[in-house]
Amino acid sequence: MTAPHTVTPLDLGGRTALVTGAAGGIGRACALRLAAAGAKVRAVDRDAPGLEALVAAAPAAAGAVEPHVLDLTDLDAAEDLAAGTDVLVNNAGLQLVRPIEDFPPDVFHTVLTVMLEAPFRLIRGALPHMYAQGWGRVVNISSVHGLRASPYKSAYVAAKHGLEGLSKTAALEGAPHGVTSNCVNPGYVRTPLVEAQIADQAQAHGIAPERVVTDVLLKDSALKRLVEPEEVAEAVAYLCAPSASFVTGTSLVLDGGWTAH
């Protein structure tokens, strides 16, 4: 009779993690979760007060949380900051809801820079250290919109689809070096980003704001609720755990059944 399988708690003691968009929402939850597992977390965001609040919220007994105020359109600085990291969580994002013919080209460029080119540069900066030690975890916070499209979100959908391809390529290149790369794909998460787009969605669809959550955001979800940031953070933690060492090049979907259609 074989011994029962035991689950080893996530222990990132001695590891350095970098989380972008860490001042709020999913990024904040991920930073706190990885710190709770013992990691030293480089918390990256352009929101300095939000980073200060994150540092104050981190348990004293947990790993250290280091705030780094950075606009990810500074691609060289982003790549430099990623050097020496063991766990990279590409989370930062922004959203604008407009028809393609009305979508400002400069905003499209910014969205692709922050949500696709910056992750490429961060991965590029992190891989040499990961390769040298034979271990690394790249977790890209994608979205159900990395697998499905929605109207009026051309930049966001394009960036998330691109992130899926980047993540798979990193997985194939990193496999011989002990580095995994995966996406986490939540549906609509209870974050400031989602709350801020309700007015835009109401205008784009011509409906009242109170109908946006039920008639637009959760229309294709079998589970009629928003995902909580902490649920996404647990998925990230799983991908960093020893039990997920064979999981790479894939997308971990938390969409309440959206993609089951």
Q: What is the pLDDT of residues 51-83, one digit of tens each?
A: 999 999 998 766 799 999 999 999 999 999 999
pLDDT reported for residue 79: 98
Give residue-wise pLDDT tens across range 212-229. 888 888 999 999 989 999
Catalytic residue among 131, 152, 156, 238: 156
Going by C-beta distance under 8 Å and a sequence separation of 6 or more, which residues neighbour residue 40?
15, 16, 17, 63, 64, 66
CATH number listed for the domain at residues 16-188+225-244? 3.40.50.720
What pTM was computed for the model? 0.93
Neighbours of 25 (CB within 10 A): 23
Residue 154, helix vs strand vs coil: helix
Domain ranges of the chain: 16-188+225-244
> Across residues 129-135, what is the average pLDDT?
98
238 a catalytic residue: no
Opening angle at CA 183, ends 181 and 189, nearest 5: 150
> Across residues 232-250, what is the average pLDDT?
98
DSSP 241-259: SGGGTT--S-EEEESTTGG
